[in-house]
Every structure is written in structure tokens, then in C-alpha cells.
Amino acid sequence: MAEYLQPGVIRKLDEVVVNRIAAGEIIQRPANALKELLENSLDAQSTHIQVQVKAGGLKLLQIQDNGTGIRREDLAIVCERFTTSKLTRFEDLSQIATFGFRGEALASISHVAHLSIQTKTAKEKCGYKATYADGKLQGQPKPCAGNQGTIICIEDLFYNMPQRRQALRSPAEEFQRLSEVLARYAVHNPRVGFTLRKQGDAQPALRTPVASSRSENIRIIYGAAISKELLEFSHRDEVYKFEAECLITQVNYSAKKCQMLLFINQRLVESTALRTSVDSIYATYLPRGHHPFVYMSLTLPPQNLDVNVHPTKHEVHFLYQEEIVDSIKQQVEARLLGSNATRTFYKQLRLPGAPDLDETQLADKTQRIYPKEMVRTDSTEQKLDKFLAPLVKSDSGVSSSSSQEASRLPEESFRVTAAKKSREVRLSSVLDMRKRVERQCSVQLRSTLKNLVYVGCVDERRALFQHETRLYMCNTRSFSEELFYQRMIYEFQNCSEITISPPLPLKELLILSLESEAAGWTPEDGDKAELADGAADILLKKAPIMREYFGLRISEDGMLESLPSLLHQHRPCVAHLPVYLLRLATEVDWEQETRCFETFCRETARFYAQLDWREGATAGFSRWTMEHVLFPAFKKYLLPPPRIKDQIYELTNLPTLYKVFERC
């Protein structure tokens, strides 16, 4: 008869064993310990850090610094778990993991090695030496002579974990890893002098001087072949709120292995996403199987880093990773292409060579996708138009919803002249306006826009688009106004022009505008011709500003010759031109510089955002413009301010629909 299987009895593990296992997770090899110790020494503001090792750090790993030292009274608890001097308030919680302040390093080491600390602060007359086992101070700290700073000595790593000890058989390999960690910290902290020495060797294996520079340290450690090919640049992204300092090799240099030294918020980390993305740029320039040397230091808002990253998991993830990687990639690309021009985020979005296809849409093909998460990403698939009643045929007899037909431009008399050359904008008022747009940009909305799929127009003010599994309706007029406003300030001084031929008489246009309902003219306002004269005078006086900065030309004899061209294939609607001109005269604040640009850009944006929705060919053309000109521009350029959230409504989403239809 089969015996009944008895369940095992659950017992609590001995605390010493628990601690040892936990410590073994954090300290897996000498290089992990060294990283922690280096960070501690750097946190203690050392300017000189010396490391001595024996047998790849397995027999001895000693680090001496000239930092603040540890107070005598803290020596009793310094090796207990979760003791740290770097976290004083609970609010700092979000920063703990980010900066590695877990108070776990010394504790962990004391559980898997013989640990002693010798330290002296500036205030104390002498130093103290203490030894630790399993997180506990052994005996009392003993007074000793010594300079300010700390010597941490780790002996016989994993003496109490024989299997682990055995797995690390090659001291040479461990030494290699130790020197790699030290080298990276030395490059990142050029003000600090580092030395790495094998015990007994006369010469250090590695040494960098105090107050050096990053490229100099790269030369010392990695060789002149790399350092003389380095391109240095820094980049600040207002939208995703990060800063990057980079040293990358030019395309003349290549190696069999991609070397990437990456620091995020001062901590040495790995990011496969960033590495592969940067490496892929070089693939176009370097022979097959060849790679660059890249140093990068990123500073991100701490709250954007994944705080659940285990201390030994050097692979990091951060919020907006895809966008940030993209932004860095474009920077690297621009530098490699030899462009030194500082580009704003806005310009980067349309750097040459940027792939049109969204990589995000291609990635992760292998992941299993449930039907309710399935996303239609090809906008050439059927759209809303198909389900709507056929549109009125235009005169030419072609259905106006057909895309081919609409690519025909309505105003043959409008011809675009490209801006002659790119002029650098120095006016602080305009630069401030740009900064404001970038600072206000909602990152979340930006990434929604970037990946949206156009679905269709509902009416002249509303359109549908899809993002992932959600269907949204948005106010296209608000979107367009914001877009054109931003185009104005980014194209400032560099606007291409839409030439109007033959030119149109300004005064007649103004009279026309007064006749329109929008102008709201009443007899009390005075004679129309006189009003038009007044308005024309203002515009004529301000003509040089409009020409110089915005490509809007009015000749001396009062003829409108050109308008700014803000988007390829977009023409403002002529029907609204007269009112626009009138508003330029009456609504723009011509007195004060910033206000003037601000109001001029807003007025122009308002005009450009109006499409012609009268039935027939023009409405069809407007639909076409919405799909093929405006929506692609929203995706590409629009930096959405948070207020635009009010102009987007989520109509439904796939999981909800599934729930509904599954019941049917």
C-alpha cells in the first residue's frame, strides 16, 4: 500500500545563516565589494583613494581614503544592517536605493569576510581601529595613530561560504574585474586620485593623479588610441529633465568589444537599452563586429529611477527610458555627423537620418500579446472614413476623402521659398519662450503623441486617434494652435516663406475684414476706410519686424507678398486672411518685445489652425491635411503643455470593450 507522503516541517532558519545568505546576494565577488567601498569613500569626500589587493581581492581587499572618517561613537553600529549616515529623513526614501544608501554594504561584508575598520576624523586626536564579525563590533575600538580618513580591510572573503569561494577560482579574473571597476570610477571622478596595487608589487597596476580630467584619465587607463579620438559633449534635455555628459570615440576608432562606461546619478550601472542603441549608431560607420568606446554620465530626477533595483543588479531601468535613450541617440548621431551646432530638443526630433518608423512598434515582437491588448499600428489600414457616409463629390468628380486627390495643393499661387540659411537665434526673449515650452511639456502626453495612430476626423474641431489600446478624441483646433505657435518660435528668424503671387493689396484685405462678421464692426467704430487706413499704417510701420523675424512680407506700397511657411504642405486658409491681418494690427502688443512675439505668434497660430471646412473639395482637403500634415506634425513636433490634457478625452479602451463583448 502506498504510503501517504508527509509534508516537510517548516522551520525558521538560523539568523546567522539568513544574514549570510542575504549578504552573499549583495556581495557576490570582490568587485561588488570594491564598488561599495569606493562609493563610500567618494561619499566621504575623499580626494585620494588607494586600493591594495591580494589574490584578486579574495585574500585581501583593502581600501584607504582621506575622507571625513567615521565618528568613534558610530563604530559600534556601522556594520549593522540598515545603518547609514546618508539618510536622515524619511522623505529621503525615494533616494535611498537610487544612490545606494541602504546601509547594507558594510554589514553584508562583515557577514562573509573578516572586516576591520581603522578611521580618524578631523576632530579626534587619534584614530580607532575596530574589527567586526556578523555585523557586530568585536570588543572595543582601539586607539591608534593615523591620518584623517578610513582604511577598510577585508580578508578571506567567503571564508564561511566554501562553495562560493570555490566558484571564484581565478584570482586573475577577479583582479581584472576589480581594476575595471576602479578604472571606471577613476574616469568618472577625475578630481580624485586613485591607486590600485597588488600587494608586494613595487608598481601600482593603475594610478590616476589628483585633479585630473576625464579624457586624461581615459588616456592613462585605456590608452592614447582611444583618448585622441574622443568627442566630448554635454546635453541637457528640458523635456525629459535629464543631463548627459559624454565622451565618445569618433568613427576612426574601433575595437572588438563595445566599452561603455555608464554612470547614472553618480553610480556605475549598466543599461542594455542604452548600450545597444548607441552601439547601433556606430554600426553604420564601423566595420562589422567593431565597436566604440563610450563614457556617459547621466543625471536623472531620482524619482524617475526604478527604486526596486537590487544593489547588485547593475542593470537599471528608468522612467521614459525609451525617450531618453532616443534623445541621447540623436545627440550621438549628430556629433558623429560632425555637427557642432547646439540643437534644441525640438530640432532633434527631425534630425536627418532619424528613422520614420517607430522602433517601439517593431520591438518586442516575440512577447505574447492577448487579443484585448492587440493594437493596430498601421495607419494605412482602414480608417474611420470608410464607415461614414460618402462625402459630397467635388466638382472634379473625385471623392474628396481620397488621399491621392487631396495631395494636390489648393492654392497654386502659393509657392514656398525655403529660408536661405539657418540663422542662430540670440534674442533672449525668444529663447525664453522656447524654454518655457520645453519646460512645460508634459512628458507623458509627449510619449502618447509620439506613438499615436490616427483614426479619423469627426468634424472640424474633433478627431479620433488611438494610443496603445485606448481610443481618444481630441480637439484638433487646440492642438493645431499649439503646434503652430511652437513652429513660430522655433522657426523664428528662419521661417521659409509662402510667396503670394500676385501680391495682395493690404488695405483692401483690411476693408474686407471689417466687412466680415468676425470683425464685429459697428457704425460707432467709425468709417471702415479710415479704420483700414489706421490698421494698414500700423502694419506698414511694423513690416520690417514681421519680415525679419517671421517671413511675413509687406512691401512699402502696401502689398502682402508672403506669409510664413510653418509646415511642409500646409497652407493657411485664405478665407481667414483678412481677419488675421486686422487682428495683427489690433491684437498684437507691438510695444514690448516678448509680448510682441508672444501675441504675434499666438495670432498667427490661430490663423494657421483654421482649416476650411466648407463642403466640397475644400473640406476633403482639410481632412487630408488633418491626416497627412497635422497629425504627423503632432506626432513629430508638438511639445504638449499640460493644459492640453483638457482637450483630449478617452472614449474607450480595448480591455473594456472586451469585457462588454465577452458577455454578449
Over the window 129 to 148, marking each residue x when it contacts Mg ion by CB under 5 A and - when it does not, the resulting string is --------------------
Smallest gap from residue 142 Cβ to Mg ion (A): 24
At 41, is the secondary structure helix, strand, or coil? helix
Enter the C-alpha cell of residue 548. 525679419
Return the half-sphere exposure (C-beta side, CA atoms, 13 A cut-off) of residue 426: 1
What residues numbered 18-47 form the site for Mg ion, per CB under 5 A? 40
Residue at grid coordinates 524619511: 90
Enter the C-alpha cell of residue 628. 497627412
Cβ proximity to Mg ion, 105 vs 281, nearer residue: 105
Cβ proximity to ligand ADP, 82 vs 649, nearer residue: 82
Residue 141, binding choice from Mg ion, ligand ADP, none, Cβ under 5 to 8 Å by partner class: none
Residue 491, binding choice from ligand ADP, Mg ion, none, Cβ under 5 to 8 Å by partner class: none
For residue 216, count other CB atoms closer than 10 A to its CB. Answer: 15
Q: Which stretch binds Mg ion (CB under 5 A): 101-109, 465-473, 520-528, 568-576?
A: 101-109
Contact predicate 292/282, CB 8 Å? yes
Cβ proximity to ligand ADP, 110 vs 647, nearer residue: 110
Smallest gap from residue 309 Cβ to ligand ADP (A): 14
Cβ proximity to ligand ADP, 150 vs 254, nearer residue: 150
Q: Tell me the CA distances in angstroms from 427 to 306, 437, 484, one per residue in order.
A: 39, 16, 20
R_g of the chain computed on alpha carbons? 33
Residue 150, binding choice from Mg ion, ligand ADP, none, Cβ under 5 to 8 Å by partner class: ligand ADP
The residue from 105, 305, 453, 560 that contacts Mg ion (CB under 5 A) is: 105
Residue at grid coordinates 537599452: 273
Cβ proximity to ligand ADP, 68 vs 562, nearer residue: 68
Residue 232's DSSP bridge partners are 247
| Separation CA 574–CA 581 (nearest Å) | 11
Cβ proximity to Mg ion, 33 vs 261, nearer residue: 33
Cβ proximity to Mg ion, 40 vs 297, nearer residue: 40
Which residues fall within 8 angstroms of residue 190, CB to CB, at 6 or more apart? 208, 211, 212, 213, 214, 216, 217
Cβ proximity to ligand ADP, 65 vs 603, nearer residue: 65
Residue 65, binding choice from ligand ADP, Mg ion, none, Cβ under 5 to 8 Å by partner class: ligand ADP
Residue 452, binding choice from ligand ADP, Mg ion, none, Cβ under 5 to 8 Å by partner class: none
Enter the C-alpha cell of residue 6. 508527509
Residue 309, binding choice from Mg ion, ligand ADP, none, Cβ under 5 to 8 Å by partner class: none
Residue at grid coordinates 549628430: 334
For residue 51, count other CB atoms closer than 10 A to its CB. Answer: 26
DSSP code per residue over 242-307: EEEEEEEE-TT--BSS-EEEEEETTEEEB-HHHHHHHHHHHHTTSPTT-B-EEEEEEE--GGGB-T
Smallest gap from residue 52 Cβ to ligand ADP (A): 15
Smallest gap from residue 226 Cβ to ligand ADP (A): 31
Cβ proximity to ligand ADP, 182 vs 334, nearer residue: 182
Phi, psi angles (nearest 5°) of residue 456: 170, 165
Residue at grid coordinates 576589480: 178
Enter the C-alpha cell of residue 401. 476623402
Which residues fall within 8 angstroms of residue 431, CB to CB, at 6 or more apart? 425
Smallest gap from residue 23 Cβ to ligand ADP (A): 11
Cβ proximity to Mg ion, 108 vs 344, nearer residue: 108
Smallest gap from residue 105 Cβ to Mg ion (A): 4
Residue 103, binding choice from ligand ADP, Mg ion, none, Cβ under 5 to 8 Å by partner class: ligand ADP
Q: Which stretch binds Mg ion (CB under 5 A): 6-14, 97-105, 201-209, 446-454?
A: 97-105
Is residue 617 part of the contact set for Mg ion (CB under 5 A)?
no
Residue 84, binding choice from Mg ion, ligand ADP, none, Cβ under 5 to 8 Å by partner class: ligand ADP
Smallest gap from residue 40 Cβ to ligand ADP (A): 3
| Separation CA 274–CA 260 (nearest Å) | 9
Cβ proximity to ligand ADP, 41 vs 348, nearer residue: 41
Smallest gap from residue 178 Cβ to Mg ion (A): 17
Cβ proximity to Mg ion, 172 vs 307, nearer residue: 307
For residue 142, count other CB atoms closer than 10 A to its CB. Answer: 12
Smallest gap from residue 664 Cβ to ligand ADP (A): 57
Residue 555, binding choice from Mg ion, ligand ADP, none, Cβ under 5 to 8 Å by partner class: none
**Binding-residue total with Mg ion (CB under 5 A):** 2
Smallest gap from residue 191 Cβ to ligand ADP (A): 17
Provide the sign of the torsion angle of the four alpha carbons 485, 486, 491, 493, taken in this order: positive
| Separation CA 656–CA 2 (nearest Å) | 51
Residue 52, binding choice from ligand ADP, Mg ion, none, Cβ under 5 to 8 Å by partner class: none
List of residues contacting ligand ADP (CB under 6 A): 36, 40-41, 44, 65, 67-70, 78, 83-86, 100-107, 150
Enter the C-alpha cell of residue 594. 516678448
Residue at grid coordinates 566599452: 259
Smallest gap from residue 304 Cβ to ligand ADP (A): 21
At 241, is the secondary structure helix, strand, or coil? coil
Which residues fall within 8 angstroms of residue 242, CB to CB, at 6 or more apart? 236, 298, 299, 300, 301, 324
Cβ proximity to ligand ADP, 264 vs 567, nearer residue: 264
Closest among 451, 443, 455, 435 to 382, alpha carbons compared? 455
Smallest gap from residue 136 Cβ to ligand ADP (A): 14
Local structure of residue 136 (DSSP, 8 states): E
Smallest gap from residue 171 Cβ to ligand ADP (A): 25
Closest among 301, 293, 311 to 214, alpha carbons compared? 293
Residues that bind Mg ion (CB under 5 A): 40, 105
